[in-house]
Amino acid sequence: MLSFKKYLKAKTRAKDGLQNFLATDPSTVIVDKPLLKKLLIVFGCVLLGFIFHETLDYEMSLIAMTGAAVGLLISKKSFEEIAQEIEWDTLFFFVGLFTITFALEDVGIISYVTKFIGGIRTEWLLSLALVWIAGLCATFIGAVPTTVAMIPVVRGLLASGANPVIWWALALGACLGGNGSAIGAAANIVGVSLMNKHTSQKIGFASFFRQAFPLTISYLAVSSAYILFLEFTGW
């Protein structure tokens, strides 16, 4: 909070914009309530499909694309109209992140990290290493790709007798480490993209990193203290 104190004093223009927003009647924003209800049903079905995709034996990508296609048919809009409102740069950025993640696995870097972490015999040191490795990786390649890549590592460590606390170490490291850069988390990417698109203020990777990374280091330090507490108390 102290770091962002200078941003707490909103500018007059921002205050006016917020007042106008609060004065808006929500019912006037929804221009087609029947369509909204239909699309909410489709959205609910997609969520159920995601939850039970293993039982149904369908890929999540197929479920998502089916939901999108049904929504497109229900809305009776052309793909060209819908495509103009899609954040294509954000989508392709995620494609690139996951491509990098699987490439790291194919060339053996993930295996190297597994061997490095697995070589640490002291339990509390292993947990700390996982917090910081997951946190720094999440900062630079994203929280989701980091989690996808590190889950097999954690499972391998558990199979060799590691303390289950390492699940918390991975969760805290990947989640909080994602705050360190504009590409660290989906919310960061989407938020920065929308701000750059719809406002006069532009946020780049460097400016975001300068503000966020020092705070992320403090988050990881607090997480390390919590992990040590779990390790030594046995909770």
89-102 pLDDT, tens digit each: 778 877 887 787 77
How do residues 166-211 score in pLDDT, each as one tens digit? 999 999 999 999 999 988 888 888 888 877 777 777 788 888 899 8
Q: How far apart are CA 225 and CA 204, in angstroms?
A: 32
How do residues 40-86 score in pLDDT, each as one tens digit? 999 999 999 999 988 888 899 899 999 999 998 998 888 888 888 78
Residues 77 and 182 in one domain: no
Domain range for 182 is 87-235
Domain boundary among 85, 115, 136: 85
**CB-based contacts of 29, cutoff 8 Å, min separation 6:** none
How do residues 152-161 score in pLDDT, each as one tens digit? 888 888 888 8
Residues 47 and 114 in one domain: no
Residues 69 and 92 in one domain: no
111 token code pair: 């295996």
Residues 58 and 93 in one domain: no
Per the structure, the count of domains in the chain is 2
Q: What is the pLDDT of residue 107?
A: 87
18 token code pair: 């917020």
Domain boundary among 57, 85, 113: 85
Rounded mean pLDDT, 112-129: 84
Query: What three-state secondary structure class fits 62?
Result: helix
Domain boundary among 85, 113, 143: 85
Q: Residue 191: count other Cβ atoms within 10 Å of its Cβ.
A: 14
Residues 209 and 171 in one domain: yes
